[in-house]
Amino acid sequence: MSVQVCNRCVMDTSAPSIEFDETGNCQFCSNYLKRLDSMPSVETYSQQLNTLVDKIKSEGQGKEYDCIIGVSGGVDSTYVAYLVKNLGLRPLAVHLDNGWNSELAVSNIEKTLTKLNIDLYTHVIDWDEFRDLQMSFLKASTPGMEIPSDHAIYAVLNKMAARYKIRYIINGSNFKMEYIMEPAWSEMVGQMDWKLIKNVHKQFGRVKLKTYPHFSRMDLYFSRFVNRCSVVNILDYVDFSKNEAMKVIQDKLGWVYYGGKHYESIYTRFTQAYIQPRKFAIDKRKAHYSNLICMGEMTRDEALLALKEDAYPDESMKDKDLQFFKKKMGVSDEEFNVLMNQPVKAYKDYKGYFNSGLHGWLYKLALNVHFNLKGKGFYGKREA
């Protein structure tokens, strides 16, 4: 079967939901450009950012920190750390050590936070529990192999925000770099779904999850509506350029590039560059490059040329990561081959909030409780 590639970006028919218009352009880049055209001006965003920063500073008065930032050693989180310090905020950096940090990621974090004088809290996850949970998702045979890490990161960020009574979690997610993504390739459906995680682990896991950081939907609603904790995508408030951001953090912080989007984690690098292309026929570089094309930071020809190369930066790294992965996960060559050849499944094959109907009911309940409490003055007065 022939593959049709978008005439404007590099998304193609390997993305199940792709549609093309009469000119051969896909809905992914068309929707991106429509949203880009409708966005406020840089000046308007700058004014909004100044207002937001003033609010964060005001609400953080008398506290040790006024915001939380997650750090991984990657481009976005490093630039966020640089940005918030230059805006005069007092962040606490939070890092989840899930056992898969590359030496380069650790070095980037240390250099960045030392030079910016930012305090760091590191949550070291229990490896036996986490390995068992990651193995459960590998056995579940869905593309969402990062769900255990992503869920734990959100849980730890919210935990630290509650501990220090901080209302703002500032992250590196941004429209320009992440808008284009095939839904079937994304972990977004499952990363907030504790019910899904529990059910997958119940079916495939062996080790009891005693300390794994997690949160239910009700925990999330409590954080948002009672603790009034907000997640701020601060890079959407600036004229963000990945190439320019990399230059800044390299020059100012001594940051070192690691070869690919999210490749600061050995696990992410291996699953995205090895397992997903070979088992699921998913190459997320198509989405990443398409975002860069729409941003004007990469040409379509450059992207097509890059996609002809293996997703791994070099062959020796691929072989090294493969052996490291099998050793760390405790699987033999035969067991790994079994995992790679299992029938592919989807999220809907496992019970979670998203397909149980409970999510919508809880959301409406939480909203009703929130507005009833607000009407009765439960939260007290707050500035507009």
| Cβ atoms < 10 Å from Cβ of 278 | 11
For residue 91, list its beta bridge partners: 67
Average pLDDT over residues 6-32: 97
Minimum mean pLDDT range among 58-62, 214-218, 261-265: 261-265
Minimum mean pLDDT range among 11-15, 93-97, 168-172, 191-195: 191-195
Average pLDDT over residues 13-25: 97
User: Which pLDDT score is estimated for 93?
Assistant: 98
| Cβ atoms < 10 Å from Cβ of 47 | 13
Euclidean distance between CA atoms 159 and 151, whole angstroms = 12
User: Which pLDDT score is estimated for 382?
Assistant: 33
Residue 146's nearest CA partner among 96, 112, 180 is 96
User: Which pLDDT score is estimated for 201?
Assistant: 98
Q: Which amino acid is at 292?
A: L
Dump the DSSP string for 182-238. Answer: -GGG-SHHHHT-HHHHHHHHHHH--S--SS-----HHHHHIIIIIS--EEEEGGGGT
Burial status of residue 66 (CB atoms within 10 A of its CB: 0-12, 13-18, 19 or more): buried
What are the boundaries of each domain within the chain? Answer: 41-282+314-355
User: Which pLDDT score is estimated for 260?
Assistant: 59
User: Which pLDDT score is estimated for 77?
Assistant: 95
Euclidean distance between CA atoms 218 and 54, whole angstroms = 30
User: Which pLDDT score is estimated for 318?
Assistant: 93
The pLDDT tens digits for 151-191 are 999 999 999 999 999 999 999 988 888 999 998 898 777 88
Residue 102's nearest CA partner among 232, 319, 259 is 259
Residue 190's nearest CA partner among 145, 131, 232 is 145
Q: Strand, helix or coil at 332?
A: coil
User: Which pLDDT score is estimated for 371?
Assistant: 42
The pLDDT tens digits for 45-83 are 999 999 999 999 999 999 999 999 999 999 999 999 999
* Segments of 29-164 assigned E as strands: 67-70, 91-97, 119-124
CATH class, 41-282+314-355 region: alpha beta
User: Which pLDDT score is estimated for 189?
Assistant: 72
Average pLDDT over residues 90-94: 98
Average pLDDT over residues 200-212: 97
Euclidean distance between CA atoms 343 and 180, whole angstroms = 27
| Cβ atoms < 10 Å from Cβ of 126 | 16
